[in-house]
Amino acid sequence: MLRKWRIRTPSEAERSGKAGRGSNATDMDFTKIAAIAGGHAEARALQTATRLGLFDALAAGPRDGDSLADALGCDRRATALLADALVALEVLRKSIGEYVLGEAAARYLVASSPEYLGGMILFDGALWDEWGRLEKALRTGQPVRPPDMFQTDPAATERFIRAMDSLVRARGDAVWTAAHLDLSRARTIVDLGGGPGTYLVEFLRRWPHLRGEIWDLPATLEVARRILAERAPELRARIELCAVDYRAGDLPHPVDAVFLSNIIHSEDEPTNAHLMRSCWRALNPGGIIAIKDHVMDDSMTAPAAGAVFSLYLLLTTRGRDYSFAEIARWLAAAGFDPPRVTALPSPPFSSSIVTAVRR
């Protein structure tokens, strides 16, 4: 039997929704409300600078405004306005008329950095028009784009999958998770809906005896092949890619562990209940399931990142972020032992991992 992971159970305060920062935890004032109202301007400045390659242009060294504009192929006056705004936002520095990358910009905004966050920033930028239709989603209760997990357009698929890889690598989720989950007794693990395989790569690096599989949709697997060839060619022989639609039929052969990161939040309640039953059937006896996601408290207001993210999910999926109590009900109905949950340290993380053992 697989060793149970050392993961704490939620406290009574967490189960009742009294823990964390709820809706009344912070008093609002004019400055905070104004910052929220105008946050789109700051986001758009960062997204546009990333798309133009502004940070890459500064990676080799400082540039004055005219040199920077020429490198980007943009108007000199307009480029200076954007660069000065980024200085004011402390993304860039300015010294003797030249623009210089700040430490965080060099780490997260230059494409050659191993912690490049630009994939996620560009993906957010591509959803600009969808956010403009939030009112429509609220009135209809329906997503404003087809909830196809970005499978129908190859460019959109590439952007989405690289965004997920970018965010996880920059923030460090996969490294932390691999270091804190005991997979010593498992021999096979599946990253279900695993996209680029960012988590699976770290699991295999941490546990050399493991073999892994990514079960995902065909268009996603095409991108995953390219990313794995770029990032982890030494592990490719231990990874199998398998085209699987978990919404349709049973999952493939039994394995020792099933890992789901940011999967359940894209689905509605009946689909998730069905998915937990499918995972139970796909596990060997004593196998474990691990669900990493925003796990909300019972008030559905904390973590705050999850509450806001549910608006994005409203725009693009049929899902939302779910509470531990909801996830526990699905797992119990599927036949799993009582689940346990642990919150990843915040900052920088805002998610938790729910685990359960197959009876």
Q: Spot the catalytic one: 40, 180, 209, 265.
A: 265
Distance separating alpha carbons of residues 85 and 260, to the nearest angstrom: 39
Distance separating alpha carbons of residues 242 and 213, to the nearest angstrom: 7
Distance separating alpha carbons of residues 344 and 172, to the nearest angstrom: 11
DSSP code of residue 339: P
Distance separating alpha carbons of residues 5 and 353, to the nearest angstrom: 11
Q: Outline where DSSP puts E strands in the chain.
A: 63-64, 92-95, 98-101, 188-192, 211-216, 239-243, 255-261, 283-293, 295-296, 322-323, 340-343, 352-357
209 an active-site residue? no
Preceding peptide of 10 cis, ω within 30°: no
Preceding peptide of 285 cis, ω within 30°: no
Distance separating alpha carbons of residues 318 and 285, to the nearest angstrom: 32
Distance separating alpha carbons of residues 312 and 150, to the nearest angstrom: 14
10 Å Cβ neighbour count for 353?
24
One-letter amino acid for residue 107 of the chain? R
Provide φ and ψ at 257, rounded to 5°: -150, 140
10 Å Cβ neighbour count for 138?
12
Distance separating alpha carbons of residues 118 and 47, to the nearest angstrom: 8
H-only helix segments in 74-180: 76-88, 103-108, 118-126, 128-131, 134-140, 154-171, 173-180
Nearest by Cα to 288 from 358, 225, 201: 358
Distance separating alpha carbons of residues 185 and 3, to the nearest angstrom: 7
10 Å Cβ neighbour count for 224?
23
Task: Give the residue numbers annotated as catalytic, written as ranges.
Answer: 265
